[in-house]
Structure 1
């Protein structure tokens, strides 16, 4: 730490983040370089607008790289100005419910290390969404959330945030297993075996892989405290274990609450897809929506993607492969995937980029 004579001139912040949850290994190291007061002000008040502009430009470039993007935008525009516009508004409202549920989940677990209000938790979730937009499989989300915590508590918060992600991942994978079984049983049999035989093959492979990993992950999820105590017995793991010992405070009641909120959040996703499929003339029943969308989410959770670069393309591709088993309106499927991407990822990321303005990442020490 700088001496008293250097206070106000320079400040060195070194944050080494390390968290390990059995079944999911994560090494996050964030080095904040020594800087003076003017640079601190520059970073605190310029980073938000810069991220906002970069995000908008990246989204524009991403859309231009996709096939049929003009048709998708035309469908979206007709829906916005048509009689079905209220369903788009409702989907936007559900976006707030979606991230509100996620904020509540994070608030429940993070209170083990620091008390946060629901509004603070909500802001942290939106900020995490912004950083997740630029990182593979949304791992930057952890970094964005812990910026709202005191410096001495950020390391422990990483492992707690991972638990939230594990809860949502469990719901996604078990629902995906049900979705695969549904598609194989009730999908368009002729299309599966004639026009898309490869779809049947990868569905079968995906089913076996998902069942195996989901069982293991479920066991890990409900045995976190026992696993921490087991790691404590290994001398070489004493330092890493000190970062995740807080997981011992998560009893079965808290873990089930996380799962319950994850199920509610998943239901919100399904509801949004159901509304938007109807808006864009994709004629599928509620059961078909649940079955197909669960497989889409399952694949998105497995395939390495970066939201700002590749995720939209993956959503379009897997959406076509799966939903066409029930309806052949490819343009409607593309438009729905685009709308979901904008509502659930782009808009929250833009909101989070503005919230970064209010975060004092580099605080002056008195």
Structure 2
């Protein structure tokens, strides 16, 4: 972003216009997702929640506590990782995490988060911030793959999903081929991820202390268990009779499949809802209950934090030595 030789007031006006556009865009995105969901009528959903006596004030406070704890861990992880570049307060990490959530809510796979977090820093630090955000997402994705893989294996052995092992083996072969080409490209120093060469990425991650990486992974695992447990709590609230063990097998499998299935942001919720409906139907949970829980999880862990994040977006200012330049 470069405003050239515009006057200070003009620059401020354009900055305010951009911030308002982001907030309005986020609110409109949320509105469309809720009102135009063909799988779950929002009015029926709201009516159901009103009539369900299980949603007491005590229950809602507990669900909100889990949401708070989930984002507390994410913010603490961001603060920990950023410390390798610049020491920031928990308040700064909170502002950057929630503000970037709002700014990236309507971008494909929340790709906008990378740029949104980077602009909180001066030009010289932005590339490192992008890489740290990539590392943070890789840690969370790695956690999802490990626990989801275990869950999927247990789910298949317990319920016999009739997996086509020929197709699975073919997929494995494709992945191996991709890895071979990746290794070759790495040697040629031409392969890039998010604009960075693999060699540079590996060197950057190698320079981060083991203590920081271990703490980041630990926070990722704790966060994973918090929002997975929140999903289980919602199952019990909706009267689903399933043990914690069986529920976690399905929940971990769901998060894995929902994460690896490619989708554009317009169809993201539809695809993830479809995965959840299919998997939970295996343990006897009806479609409406599953869709309601998926919607509540989205409201609690994305919509609610993004509402707070909109405050930080509107109050955003560029770093003092980099005002209105990026």
SS in 1 for 2:4: strand
Residue 68 (structure 2) pairs with residue 73 (structure 1) = no
Does structure 1 residue 247 correspond to structure 2 residue 218? Answer: no
| 8 Å contact kept, 1:49–1:354 | no
- Structure 1 residues 312 and 86, CA gap change in structure 2 (3 angstroms): farther
Kept after mapping to 2: 8 A contact 1:173/1:298:
yes
Shift in Å, 1:232 = 10
**Post-superposition CA distance 1:19-61 (Å, at most 9, x none):** xxxxxxxxxxxx5453622332123334344333332222222
Change (3 A) 1:174 1:357: same
Matched, 1:44 2:15: yes
User: Quick one: distance in 2 between partners of 1:337 and 1:204?
Assistant: 32
8 Å CA contact retained: 1:280, 1:333: no
Alignment CA distance shift 1:183-1:240 (3 Å) = closer
Larger mean Cα displacement after TM superposition, 156-165 or 47-56: 47-56
Q: Structure 1: any 5+ residue segments left out of the alignment?
A: 1-30, 193-199, 221-226
* Aligned mates of 2:95, 2:12 — CA distance in 1: 21
* Structure 2 counterpart of 1:304: 262
Contact 1:180/1:207, CA 8 A, preserved across alignment: no
Q: Which residue of 2 aligns with 1:294?
A: 252
Q: What does residue 359 of structure 1 align with?
A: 316
**Residue number in structure 1 paired with 2:163:** 201
User: Hey, what does 2:30 align to over in structure 1?
Assistant: 59
Mark the CA change 1:206 to 1:35 in structure 2 (over 3 Å): closer, same or farther. Answer: farther
Q: What's the TM-score once normalised by structure 1's chain length?
A: 0.74
Q: Deviations over 1:166-203 (max 9, x none)?
A: 1111110011111111211223x5xx5xxxxxxx4379
Structure 2 unmatched runs, 5+? none
- TM-score normalised by L of structure 2: 0.82
Question: What is the deviation of 1:364?
Answer: 5.9
Name the SS of the counterpart of 1:65 in structure 2: coil
Indicate how the Cα distance of structure 1 residues 202 and 360 shifts in structure 2: closer, same or farther if over 3 A, else same.
Answer: farther
Q: What is the aligned residue count?
A: 311
**What is the Cα deviation at residue 77 of structure 1?**
3.1
2:323 is equivalent to residue 350 of structure 1:
no
Higher strand share: 1
Aligned twin of 1:257: 215
1:287-333 deviation digits (Å, cap 9, x = unpaired): 122111112211222123455x3222123211110011112322111
Change (3 A) 1:232 1:97: farther
In 2, the alpha carbon distance for the partners of 1:73 and 1:164 equals: 35
Q: Distance in 2 between matches of 1:360 and 1:207?
A: 51
Report the more deviating stretch, 347-356 or 243-252.
243-252
User: 2:87 aligned with 1:115, yes or no?
Assistant: yes
Which residue of structure 2 lines up, in the alignment, with residue 105 of structure 1? 77
How much does 1:265 deviate? 0.4
Q: Which moved more, 1:141-150 or 1:356-365?
A: 356-365
RMSD: 3.4
Equivalents in 2 of 1:354, 1:202: separation in Å?
Answer: 49
Per-residue deviation, 1:157: 1.2
2:257 paired with 1:274: no
Alpha-carbon separation, structure 2, partners of 1:296 and 1:240: 31
The offset of 1:248, in angstroms, is 3.2
Counting only pairs closer than 5 Å after superposition, residues 175-194 of structure 1 correspond to structure 2 as: 175-187=147-159, 192=161
Matched, 1:153 2:125: yes
Offset at 1:82? 4.7
